[in-house]
Each structure stands twice: as C-alpha cells, then as structure tokens.
Amino acid sequence: MLPNLLLFTLGIAAIGAPVWVHLRLGRVKKRATVSSLRLMRATPQTSRSPRRFVDIPLLLLRALVLLLVALGFGRLLVPGMRSHNARAYAAIVVDVSGSMQAEAGGKVWDQAKAQVLASLEKLDASSRVAVILSPAGRSVPSWESPAQAATRVAALEPGYGANQLAPSVREGVRLLAEMPEDRPKVLHLVSDFQRSALAGLDEVKLPVGVGLEIAKLGATQGQNRGVTVEVVSAGATDLGIYSFNDGTGGKLVLDENGSSRELEITPGNSGVRLGHAGEKGEWVTRRLELQETDGIAADNVAHDVYQAQDYIPVWLWEPPSEAKHVYEQASYYISRALQPVSTEDGRAVSRYLPVALTESNISAAVGELGTAAAPRLLFVPATASPSAELAALVKGLVENGGSVVFFGGPALDADEYAAAFGEFLPVRVGKAESIALTPSLAEMNDGNLLWGPLESLSRRQLEKAPLRQRHAVELAADAAVLASYADGVAFVAERVIGSGRTEFVNTSANRAWGDWAASAPLFVPAMHLLAARSLGDAPFQPAHQPVAAGAPVTLKLGTALAGRTLKLGEATYTVGADGRATDVIFDKPGVVDLTLDDGTSAGKIAVNFPTTESVLESDPEPVVRQRLESLRQSGSGSTVRWEAEEQGGLAWRLCLLAAALLLVIEPVVANLRMKP
C-alpha cells in the first residue's frame, strides 16, 4: 500500500511542474532596438503586472498527462480506479472435522464458513477455485468459479471425522500444480489446527510460487470431555471398556436395550469394564451418555453393540500342589487367560468357562465322557508323573471327538509323557534348550491357521513374545506345524486323530521359560484362538469393533458373503473374495445395521465420535505457518508478479494508455503553439 500512496502523492505533486513552467514563461514582449539609446546604461526593470498563464491548452495537456500517470500507479487509493477482486487460482482447504462443532466465542464452524466466504468474495469472477474438504470423506475437489464455490460452502456443515491436514494440503498443492502459470496461485487453510491433525504437515513441500494464507479459528485450549468406547475382542474375549477421553472420573448413564443405569468412573481409573453377556444370539445395544455441557455436544454420547454367545466349558488340569512351580502353576495363567476378568454383575467376559480338574474329581470326569454335559476341550500344563486317570481322560476325550492341548515346561519328563500320551502327542518331546533368536517366533501372516485372525499389530507383537527356552521336538508323521520359532522349530504342532485332535505348545504356560504367560495382551488372545482352533470352531467374532465416524475402515464380513454388496445409505461396497469390504465410511455416530443388497443383515456396528477430535488442543497460526514453510521448495521461476496482490482493472490500464498517447501528442501541440 505504501509504494502506491507514495507514487500517487508524487504524481499529483508533479502537476505543479508544468504550472511553474508556464508561469515563468508569461507573455514575452518584443523589444525594438533604437540607435540613440545604445550608449545608455541598462537599468533593472520590474513588472508590476500579474503573471498570467499562457498556452493554456498546452498546460492542461501536460497536467493531464501527469494526472493520468499518478492515477494509474496509485490505483489502489482511488475508488473506481482499482479492482477489489484478485484474479487467481485458489485452493481452499476447509476443516470440516468433528472439532469444528465446538463452541469458542460462538460456533467455530460459523467462523470458518464466514472466513471462506470472505475469501471467495475477494476473488475476481474469472478466478478458479478448488474447495478441498478435510477430512475428504467421499468428496472430490474440482475447479469452479468463486460463485459456485460460495454456493457449495454456504450449504456445508461440519462432519464427525478426525482430521489430518497433511493429505488435504498435498491435494491442494497438486491441484495448483496442474493449473497454468498465467495468474497467481494461492493455498488458503481454514482450520482450528488441532495438534492431532497436524501430523506430517511439516513434511509437505510448498512450491515457491504458491502464496500461503492461513486462518486460525477457535481457542488454542478448549474445555471439553467426551465418552470413549474400547472393545477388547480376540478369539472369544469380548469386553467393553467405557471411559472419558481426558482420563478423569465421573458418571455415565448406560442404556442397555432400553434398561438404564448409572456407571461411576473413579478418578485415576481407566474406565468401567463390562463383559458382553446375554442370551445366545441376542443383539445388545449400549448407549452411554455424559450428562454435562461442554465444548462439543456430539462426543457426549457413545455406542456399543454386540451379539451375545453361550459359554463353552473347558477342562483345565490342576497338577498336585506339591508340583507347584515357584512362578505359580501354569494352570493359573491359562485360567486367567480364558476367563481374564469378571464384570460387576459377576459375568465373565469370555465364552470359555474353565472347569478345574484335579485328582479328586478326575474319575467323575472320565465317567462323563460321551455325554452332552462333558466339555470337549482339555488343557494339560506340563506335569510330572501323569496319572493313569489323566491318561484315560485324554484317550477317551480324543476318541469321542474332543481335543487336548498340551504345554511343555521344566516339569515335563519326556519318557513319562511318551508312556502316558505317546499315541496322541503330535511330537516326541526331547530335552530343554535355549532360544537364541529375537524375535523368537517366525513371521505370521493373516492366513495363519492359528493366529491369522489377529490384527497385524497383534501378530507382530506375538512374534516378539518373551520366550527363553523350549523343548527339542520331533514331529509325528501325521502332525502339522501351526506356528514356528524363528529358526523353524515347531512352536505349536497339531495332530488330527479320528474326529478328535491334539496340540502341543512348545513352551511353558507359566513364567519358568519366559514371561509370555504374564503378558496379558499377548497371552490372552493367543489362548482364546488356540481354544477355538482346538474345538474346530472359527474364531468368535461377536461384533465389529466400534469404529470412528468419517474414517475409512475395513469390515470383515466373512468369505460366505464374498461378491455381495453392502449398502449404507447411498453408498455401496462390494465384499471381496477374502470376505472384506474396504474403505467403508460411516458419516455419523450411531448403531448401524449392515444391510446387504437383498435387504438381509450382516450384523451391526457401533460408530462413535473420534476420540482425537474431543481433545481441543491446537497450535497458533505462526506455528502452523512455520511448519509449512520449513520445506518450501527452492527453484527457478515464480508465479508472483508485481500486480499479484490485486490485479488492476480496466480503468487504470486506460489511464496509462491515455497518458502514453498524450505524451506522444504533447510535442506536436507545443511545436504548433510556439510558431509565430
């Protein structure tokens, strides 16, 4: 602005130059030379007559030239002589994440919309605008006029998704790079700049010729808390954990299939843990509500949904007390894994119900074999001198189509095991040996027969299980390896015998040979999937984990639905050959019925407000600008021009053109005026 003001002032002042020249010239009087006066001394003469303008048309012409030049270069100051609208390519990234529903001196979204519309008003009608929503969801940005963009923005409302600005900024840079270099390019960010959304932003490279405009909205630190739902689901474990996003205590109102009660979360507690219990096949919906007013209303309600299952009783052999190891009995860890937690109402969070089997009741157990009440699975931790009754139970269970899972350990004697269970073991057990490699277990993919149903992160963690020792083993001729150590030695071996089967886990079920059993995140899901495999069942999937609204997720629907179409509102998704529907997006929180193309249901799923959007902690505008500018691309060329701030209109161009023409005419007019 200052250079234009200076040019305008100097231009107006310059009009005085031709005025001064014309006043100095005045009217020149012709003098006659007389011979008789030639010898007289000249004396100074003073004219008392006022100076008058001469050649007024020429004066006006010269003044007009200077005025036009002043108006041309000072166009930003003279109403009507400048254009208020810039002609540019503008990529506008608009934050439509869940946090934009927050209240901070008014609704943050209203501030964002006003900011975007104000930016669009500054653009010339010939400008091209790409409005990029962040998160994008199903929207695809395209170039349009400012008026079209304003109409679309005016109808927008914030969604519920968690924001990541970096992909949206990259998309804006890509779109600008595709446009020609005939006008300025501007990237405009409108967001509350939550810290959770800024990951990767300082890795985005902005081209040197792209201008950057940033509008920070909302408070830097907002007051808000929301309800969160976590479900620990692996094999048959199914447990809901209900808490607050800020980790504080408080009260929640729980509505379970229409029955309401209050949950108390004590300060410092991780939350309320409730098992997914109920009548077999029953769908249970839970709605949790935080009854208080804070920054965002949408995260004060969360949902959970599951399908209840019956318990499956399993026998668990308890070795005699005198054989108890210093690190506790292995049966303790197995029992804790199969039934890890009890809920407030005393219900277990596991499908499996361990039934202790000891020397005192084993005879009765042998008598139950073949009846409907008898368990079909037996866990046998390493035990010294197995009894004849235990050997008879193993034999009878396998012959009746049941399964037995054996564990190794220091208490196991190879000769005694060969004598008692040799015809059923999948391996011949040898001496103990150390495990040298780390990670201890071989890589497991999602096709692993035993632990493939685990998420990839859980499988990677299981591969690093803290194991120190194992048995040297020799596989039976008809045995198969379900999982291996990193050096190829069998970790879990299986043998199918008639309609029954046996497994051998080549490590201890207690802490004698490593801390695997004491690591609940590793040991619990492993035991549940081992039990499911032993029973010949598919791993139990009672319901999908709750997902976050607005985020693309993959749904595991089962291979039986391969090729079918999942319909969610106007969107459709095809179930792949692997039984998965990918990149499924749920627009808003709630309990959603997964409906197939023929109207049947593929189950239900809970969709919740993203936890990260509840934490209203953001960075100020200078910090965001610095992060974006940190990797500003260097290179030759630039789209920045002298008129890049505001492209002039037709009026100032005509001023400069007229001034140029008058400068051409002025000498001609001056020459004509000076002729006698």
341-365 tens-digit pLDDT: 665 555 566 778 899 999 889 999 9
Residue 640: inside a domain, yes or no?
no
Write the CATH number for 319. 3.40.50.880
**Are 253 and 339 members of one domain?**
no
Write the CATH number for 169. 3.40.50.410
Per-residue confidence (pLDDT) for residue 334, from 0 to 100: 93
**Are 281 and 319 members of one domain?**
no
CA pair distance 216, 195, nearest whole angstrom: 13
Residue 47: inside a domain, yes or no?
no
pLDDT band at 373 (very low <50, low <70, confident <90, very high): confident
Mean pLDDT for 451-467 is 86
Mean pLDDT taken over the chain? 82
Residue 34: inside a domain, yes or no?
no
Strand (E) positions, 245-373? 250-256, 259-265, 272-275, 283-289, 301-307, 312-317, 352-357
**Are 523 and 574 members of one domain?**
no
Domain boundary among 489, 506, 534: 534
Convert 386-404 to b/e letters by CB count within 10 Å (16 or more is b): beeebbbbbbbbbeeebbb
**Are 502 and 433 members of one domain?**
yes
**Are 176 and 249 members of one domain?**
no
CA pair distance 97, 496, nearest whole angstrom: 53
Asked whether residue 657 carries a pLDDT value surpassing 70, the answer given is no
pLDDT band at 76 (very low <50, low <70, confident <90, very high): very low
Q: Which residues are paired to 471 by β-bridges? A: 432
**Are 284 and 402 members of one domain?**
no
Residue 100: inside a domain, yes or no?
yes
Q: Point out the least confidently predicted range of 346-360, 363-377, 457-471, 485-499.
A: 346-360
Asked whether residue 635 carries a pLDDT value surpassing 60, the answer given is no
Q: What are 223-260's pLDDT values in tens digits?
A: 888 999 988 765 556 778 898 988 788 899 999 999 99
Residue 637: inside a domain, yes or no?
no
**Are 141 and 177 members of one domain?**
yes
Residue 32: inside a domain, yes or no?
no
**Residues, the chain:** 676
Half-sphere exposure of residue 595, counting CA atoms within 13 Å on the CB side? 12
Asked whether residue 6 carries a pLDDT value surpassing 70, the answer given is no
Domain boundary among 534, 552, 581: 534
Asked whether residue 323 carries a pLDDT value surpassing 60, the answer given is no
Q: Taking CA 426 as the corner, what is the angle to CA 420 and CA 431, rounded to the nearest 5 degrees?
A: 70
With contact defined as beta carbons under 8 Å apart, do 281 and 308 qualify?
yes
Asked whether residue 519 carries a pLDDT value surpassing 90, the answer given is no
DSSP characters over 578-628: TSEEEEE---S-EEEEEEETTS-EEEEEEEE--HHHH--BB--HHHHHHHH
Confidence (pTM): 0.64
**Are 490 and 530 members of one domain?**
yes
Q: Which long-range contacts (CB under 8 A, 24 or more apart) does 277-284 make?
A: 277/308, 277/343, 277/345, 277/347, 277/348, 277/349, 278/308, 279/308, 280/308, 280/309, 280/310, 281/307, 281/308, 281/309, 282/307, 282/308, 283/307, 283/308, 283/604, 284/256, 284/257, 284/308
Q: Taking CA 478 as the corner, what is the angle to CA 472 and CA 479, rounded to the nearest 5 degrees?
A: 45
Q: What are 128-169's pLDDT values in tens digits?
A: 999 999 999 888 999 999 999 999 999 999 999 999 999 999
**Are 137 and 64 members of one domain?**
no
**Are 303 and 319 members of one domain?**
no
Domain region containing 405 = 312-534
Overall number of domains in the chain = 4
pLDDT band at 637 (very low <50, low <70, confident <90, very high): very low
**Are 302 and 218 members of one domain?**
no
Per-residue confidence (pLDDT) for residue 505, from 0 to 100: 97
CA pair distance 448, 96, nearest whole angstrom: 41
Domain boundary among 505, 534, 563: 534
Asked whether residue 303 carries a pLDDT value surpassing 80, the answer given is yes
Per-residue confidence (pLDDT) for residue 540, from 0 to 100: 47
Residue 41: inside a domain, yes or no?
no
Segment holding 171, helix H or strand E: helix 165-178
Q: Point out the least confidently predicted range of 458-472, 596-610, 631-645.
A: 631-645
Residue 44: inside a domain, yes or no?
no
Per-residue confidence (pLDDT) for residue 658, from 0 to 100: 73
Asked whether residue 611 carries a pLDDT value surpassing 70, the answer given is yes
**Are 248 and 364 members of one domain?**
no
Q: What are 388-410's pLDDT values in tens digits?
A: 999 999 999 999 999 999 999 99
For residue 319, cis peptide bond before it (omega within 30 degrees of 0): no
